[in-house]
Amino acid sequence: MRMPTNSSKLRSEQAAGLSPGRLREAIRAGRYRGTTEGLAPGYLQANLLAIPAAMAYDFLLFSQRNPAACPVVEVTDAGDPRITDIARADVSTDLPRYRVFRNGECVREPESAVDWWREDLVAFLLGCSFTFEHALRRARLPLRHREAGRSIPIYHTGIKCNRAGVFSGQMVVTMRAFPGSAVAEAVRIMSRFPRAHGACVHVGDPAQIGISDLQDVSFGDPPVIKTGDVPVFTPCGVTSQLVAQSAEPDLMISHYPAHMLVADVTDEQSAGC
Amino acid sequence: MRMPTNSSKLRSEQAAGLSPGRLREAIRAGRYRGTTEGLAPGYLQANLLAIPAAMAYDFLLFSQRNPAACPVVEVTDAGDPRITDIARADVSTDLPRYRVFRNGECVREPESAVDWWREDLVAFLLGCSFTFEHALRRARLPLRHREAGRSIPIYHTGIKCNRAGVFSGQMVVTMRAFPGSAVAEAVRIMSRFPRAHGACVHVGDPAQIGISDLQDVSFGDPPVIKTGDVPVFTPCGVTSQLVAQSAEPDLMISHYPAHMLVADVTDEQSAGC
């Protein structure tokens, strides 16, 4: 069988014009391996976290006890990488890039997870903040990091997640700075998307949640903060990733950062109200 | 030790004046065994469903796949009947009455579950529609069954729940009839409480969801429907109960109908937006 050639690869601009279904087709065929940020605007994107079935109850309970930080939108049956609700897709082939962890250590970053999938894996799909960022843009609210061409700033915090079995840890958050006059509207819009990390955990003084210096990010780029801006903090998908890693499953497969599953449900369909 | 005497028992009117904490105290001490309907207005009440840990993952997954019908608000650790989130309470003692099931059959209706609790039981607390009924009353919307002093009409439907492991079945719904001019407001208010069965599944023609005659109820009392009223259907807690019963756990403990856990969180705190 002939493998797809480089000449058939899609550039981001071409990928940007595709429907979620066509995009997943291109990814599955090896024709697109880039970030999904900005693609299929208006459709839900999801983080992937696949762990052994023996740990799946504890993780599902963790998500029930920490819904803002760990918003589960679909769970596969053990050993079957297919989902049917947010999209008809195979999560072992339909993301552009993956990370494979052994006992909590990243050992590979493959373009397909097929060779790594195992009979006892259960895949969790978690909402992603691209959803509410899209809604914020539609409302013409400024996104400082995007305007500056930077990645979103991400921070460890002192906020303890609620433990569930083997899963525990501190919440990781993203920060977006808004003019004081826009904070209420931003919070209102984000709050509509609790399944996409839109439930704010803190507004204002970073020190109160254990962040001593906003310029000293844990991941991503340092923020741009203008005079009069107020920092707004929302839970980040990295929380679940780190909590899962620290439980050291013998095998864990996740999406590669910003290389998500693009779903068939729209942002609006995933809204809480 | 002297047991509480009858003379110390509370009448409903007395119970109605108590805070959730005091009310649970009275229940725990055997001083109140009546319905919790109308008590501690403005506070969340919860259905109880305790099943063996071996079935807990499937049930939690069922709730993830059927959030409207099975809105889990807290889950205990196996063997420990205490909850800490929606209230600091012991779910084996703090409800006024229970039902005990063996292999899906109700065998007892005791006033305390202590003697029946088992090391491997996991308790699920599920939101209850009292929450949005209270919100509807605050908005001065008519509740036909209450005006007529009747129980809410409950129906089996043809709507299939999404299967999760050993749990599957059809959705059971409650029906409230509203004047056509009030349907939009009623739906808007109920929608704020997705964790209390407020997510409507159908408005209008009952036949479309498999109900041939609204007067022919499955549980509760036949409805009062006035000229110009439109039927509005929401998922009912009985769904989870029947789905769990039909999986025939060797032991299952639930609340007795309308005898709920009264939580310390308010309706507003439990709202989705």
Q: What is the mean pLDDT of chain B?
A: 94
Q: Which two tokens stand for residue A128?
A: 């992603």
Q: For residues A20 and A103, state if they share a domain.
A: yes
- Two tokens at B208? 């479309």
Q: Which of B199, B198, B201 is nearest to B209 (CA)?
A: B201
Residue A124 is predicted with a pLDDT of 98
Confidence of residue A2 (pLDDT cuts 50, 70, 90): very low
Residue among B61, B63, B273 minimizing CB distance to A272? B273
Query: What's the pTM value of the predicted model, to 2 decimals?
Result: 0.91
Residue A250 phi, psi dihedral angles, 5° rounding = -65, -30
Same domain, A91 and A165: no
CB nearest to A272's CB, from B60, B85, B272 = B272
B157 found inside a domain: yes
The answer as to whether A49 is a domain residue is: yes
For residue B253, count CB atoms less than 10 angstroms from its CB and return exposed for 0-12, middle for 13-18, buried for 19 or more.
Answer: buried
The whole-angstrom separation of Cα A164 and Cα B51 is 18
In a domain, A6, yes or no: no
Residue B210 and residue B155 share a domain: yes
Average pLDDT across chain A, whole number = 94
CATH of the domain at B207: 3.30.2040.10
Q: Structurally, how many domains does chain B consist of? A: 2
Do B127 and B190 touch, CB atoms closer than 8 A?
no
Q: B62, B73, B75: best mutation site toward chain A, by most A Cβ within 10 Å?
A: B75
Predicted confidence (pLDDT) at residue A221 exceeds the cutoff of 90: yes
Rounded Cα distance between B178 and B232, Å, is: 7
Indicate whether A108 and A182 sit together in one domain. Answer: no
How crowded is the C-beta side of B89, counted as CA atoms within 13 Å?
30
Point out which residues pair with A74 in neighbouring strands.
Answer: A125
How many angstroms separate the CA atoms of A31 and A93, rounded?
A: 12
| B44-100 residue pLDDT tens | 999 999 999 999 999 999 999 999 999 999 999 998 999 999 999 999 999 999 999
Give the containing element (helix H, strand E) for A157: strand A154-160
CA angle B48, B50, B52 (to 5 degrees): 170
* The pLDDT value given to residue B273: 77
Tell me, what amino acid is at B195? R
**In this structure, what are the phi and psi dihedrals at residue A241, rounded to the nearest 5 degrees?**
-60, -50
Phi/psi region, residue A30 (left: phi>0; alpha: psi -120 to 50; beta: rest), is: left
CB contact under 8 A, A60 and B60: yes
Distance (Å) from the alpha carbon of A72 to chain B's nearest alpha carbon: 8
Residue B76 included in any domain: yes
Q: Are residues B72 and B152 in the same domain?
A: no
Task: Indicate the residue of A63, A85, A273 with minimum beta-carbon distance to B273.
Answer: A273
Write down the pLDDT at residue A147. Answer: 93
Residue type, B130: F
Using only the alpha carbons of chain A, give its radius of gyration: 18
* SS3 assignment for chain B: CCCCCHHHCCCHHHHCCCCHHHHHHHHHCCCCCCCCCCCCCCEEEEEEEEEEHHHHHHHHHHHHHCCCCCCEEEECCCCCCEECCCCCEECCCCCCCEEEEECCEEEECCCCCHHHCCCCEEEEEEECCHHHHHHHHHCCCCCHHHHCCCCCCEEEEEEECCCECCECCEEEEEEEEEEHHHHHHHHHHHHCCHHHCCCCCEECCHHHHCCCCCCCCCECCCCCCCCCEEEEEEECCHHHHHHHHHCCCCCEEEEECCECEEEEEECCCCCCC
Q: Per the domain annotation, does B141 fall within a domain?
A: yes
Question: How many whole angstroms separate alpha carbon B166 and alpha carbon A261?
Answer: 28
Q: What integer pLDDT is reported at residue A67 of this predicted model?
A: 95
Q: What pLDDT is recorded for position B271? A: 87
Contact indicator for A144, A225 with CB cutoff of 8 Å: yes
**A145, A110: one domain:** no
Per the CB < 8 A criterion, the answer to whether B63 and B71 are in contact is yes
CB B107 within 8 A of CB B98: no
Side-chain-side CA neighbours of residue A98 (13 Å)? 27
- Residues A143, A232 share a domain: yes
**pLDDT, position A17:** 87
Per CB-CB distance under 8 Å, the chain A contacts of B162 are 85
**Mean pLDDT across the stretch B235-258?**
97
Q: What is the CATH number of the domain that holds B51?
A: 3.40.1640.10
* Structure-token pair, residue A7: 């000449």
A259, A36 Cβ separation under 8 angstroms: yes
Least confident of A8-17, B124-133, B171-180: A8-17
Place of tokens 């999560």: A91
Q: Which domain holds residue B118?
A: 41-128+243-266
- Is residue B224 a part of any domain in this protein? yes
- Same domain for B139 and B233: yes
Residue A187 and residue A124 in one domain: no
Query: Residue A273 has what pLDDT?
Result: 77
- Write out pLDDT tens, residues A8-28: 788 888 898 899 999 999 999
Do A193 and A259 lie in one domain? The reply is no
Q: Which of B64, B85, B194 sits opposite A272 (nearest CB)?
A: B194
CA distance A9 to chain B (A): 36
Which of chain A's residues have a Cβ under 8 Å away from the Cβ of B192?
273
| A101 and A147 inside one domain | no
Beta bridge partners of A83: A89
pLDDT value of position A144 = 96
Q: Say what percent of chain B tops pLDDT 90.
A: 88
Is the distance from CB of A81 to CB of A117 less than 8 angstroms? yes
Q: What is the pLDDT of residues A107-166, one digit of tens each?
A: 999 999 999 999 999 999 999 988 899 899 999 999 999 999 999 999 999 999 999 999
B144 and B160 in a single domain? The answer is yes
CA dist A58 and A76 (Å) reads: 15
Domain for residue A9, yes or no? no
User: Which chain A residues are within 8 Å of B194, Cβ to Cβ?
Assistant: 272
pLDDT in tens, A23-49: 999 999 999 999 998 899 899 999 999
Q: B60–A65: do the CB atoms touch at under 8 Å?
A: no
For A273, which of B57, B72, B192 is closest by C-beta distance?
A: B192
Specify if A272 maps to a domain. Answer: no
The contact set of A with B (CB < 8 A) is: 56-57, 60-61, 63-65, 72, 75, 85, 162, 191-192, 194, 272-273
